[in-house]
Amino acid sequence: MEHHLGAAYSRVWAREQVLRGLDGRTVDQALAAGESPKRVWRAVWQHLELPASDR
């Protein structure tokens, strides 16, 4: 996320942005609940519409 959003903004984004792909949770909430980082990254990747090479 830092690569695409920058170091400071990626932390805010992870704390504030609710993702449908994470069942209406933020990145921070999903990780704290034990969600796999791989699933979290896929949700982020899809939400940000990143290129396939970053998947």
- What is the predicted pLDDT for the residue at 7? 93
- What is the predicted pLDDT for the residue at 31? 98
- What is the predicted pLDDT for the residue at 1? 87
Residue 17 belongs to domain spanning: 2-50
Is 14 part of any domain? yes
Q: What CA dihedral angle connects 53, 20, 22 and 47, to 10 degrees?
A: 20
CB half-sphere exposure, 53, CA atoms < 13 A? 1
Is 33 part of any domain? yes
Which residues touch 19 (CB under 8 Å, ≥6 apart)?
Answer: 25, 26, 27, 30, 43, 44, 47
pLDDT interval class at 50 (50, 70, 90): confident
Q: Write out pLDDT tens, residues 9-39.
A: 999 999 999 999 999 999 999 999 999 999 9
Domain count, the chain: 1
Is 55 part of any domain? no
Q: What's this model's pTM, rounded to 2 decimal places?
A: 0.87
Which residues touch 10 (CB under 8 Å, ≥6 apart)?
Answer: 1, 2, 4
- What is the predicted pLDDT for the residue at 54? 76
